[in-house]
Amino acid sequence: MTHLIIFLLFGALCVAGAVNLLVQRHPINSALSLVVVMGSLAVEYLLLGAEFVAAVQVIVYAGAIMVLFVFVIMLLNAGEEERTKGSRVAMLFGIPGMLVGSVLVGWLLIERTGNQTVSAGALPGAPRTIGWLLFHNFLLPFEVTSILVLIAIMGAVVLASHPDSDQGKKES
């Protein structure tokens, strides 16, 4: 019973945050809503027993990625969105398409899963277990992703550097 209540509470919080992200016009508000969403999601993960994932969600997603977003919004001095002429296609095909897709998938999922339930803390994902898996079964992907991150770092540095300065060595 409590499981259900907590689920519904934080689920509602997720959805509210998501909708708020859509509704808000200033990107900073959208960013903060997204943080709320991520926090709620972390709780949902905990409900399913994924401790490590929940922790990583808060640390990496809410703590690092969203901070990055906020910094960039601050750096670029992003203001409220202006109303510009949009794309008819996006409205005409995109929204209905998305609706159709989601409805279909939703229907399928509900139908297929039927009455199966999960209990709270169904699959404990302790750091030890996760770690063991990572370094034994998933070692290759693990190493590859580390290289991926390295590339991303280099790419970000190159892309964001000033065009006429040398990797930001010279300060104005």
Partner 1 sequence: MTPDLHLWLIPVLPLVGAAVNGLFGKKFPRQAVAGVALLFSGAAFALALLVASRFSSLTTPHVEVLATWIRAGKFQADFSFFLDQLSLVMLLVVTGVGFLIHIYSVGYMWEEGGFYRFFSYLNLFMFFMLTLVLASNYLLMFIGWEGVGLASYLLIGFWFTKDSAAAAGKKAFIVNRIGDFGFLIALFLLIKHFGTLNFDQVFQGIAPMGAETGGAGLLTAVGVLLMVGAAGKSAQIPLYVWLPDAMEGPTPVSALIHAATMVTAGVYMVARSHVIFERAPMAMTVVAIVGTLTALFAATIGITQTDIKKVLAYSTVSQLGYMFIACGVGAFSAAIFHLMTHAFFKGLLFLAAGSVIHAVGGEQDMRQMGGLRTKIPWTFWTMTIATFAIAGIPPFAGFFSKDEILWRAYQASWVYWFIGLFTAFVTSFYMFRLWFMTFFGEYRGAAESSHHEVDELGHADMRVGVPAPHGHGHGGIHESPRLMVVPLVVLAVLSFIGGWIGVPGALGGSNRFEKFLGPVFHATAAGAEGHRGTITEGEGEGPESQAGHATELIFTGISVFAGLLGFLLAWQLYYRNPLLPQQIAAGLGGLYQAVLHKYYIDELYAALFVKPLIAGSALILWHGIDQDVIDAALDNSAHGAREVSDSVRHMQSGNLRSYAGWVAAGAAVVIAYMIWMGTR
Partner 2 sequence: MVPISYYLVLSGILFACGVTGFLIKRNIISIFMSIELMLNGVNLSFVAFAAQWHALSGQIFVFFVMVVAAAEAAVGLAIIIAVYRTRETLNVDQVDLLKL
Q: Return residues touching partner 1 (CB under 8 A).
A: 86-98, 100-101, 104-105, 108
- Tokens 């703590």, residue located: 63
The count of other CB atoms within 10 Å of the CB of residue 134 is 14
**Structure token digits, residue 165:** 């300065």
Is residue 152 helix, strand or coil?
A: helix
131 binds, among partner 2, partner 1, none (CB under 5 to 8 A by kind): none
Q: Does position 143 bind partner 2 by CB under 8 A?
A: no
Write the CA distances from 7 to 16, 34, 50, integer angstroms.
Answer: 14, 18, 14
49 binds, among partner 2, partner 1, none (CB under 5 to 8 A by kind): partner 2
**CA angle, residues 77, 78, 84, in degrees to nearest 5:** 145
Site for partner 2 in 55-94 (CB under 8 A): 56-57, 60-61, 64-65, 68-69, 72-73, 75-76, 78, 81-87, 90-91, 94
Determine contact, residues 11/20, Cβ cutoff 8 Å. no
140 binds, among partner 1, partner 2, none (CB under 5 to 8 A by kind): none
Determine contact, residues 51/124, Cβ cutoff 8 Å. yes
Site for partner 2 in 90-119 (CB under 8 A): 90-91, 94-95, 98-99, 102, 105-106, 109-110, 113-119
CB of 51 to partner 2, least distance (A): 9
User: Would you say 94 or 141 has its CB closer to partner 1?
Assistant: 94
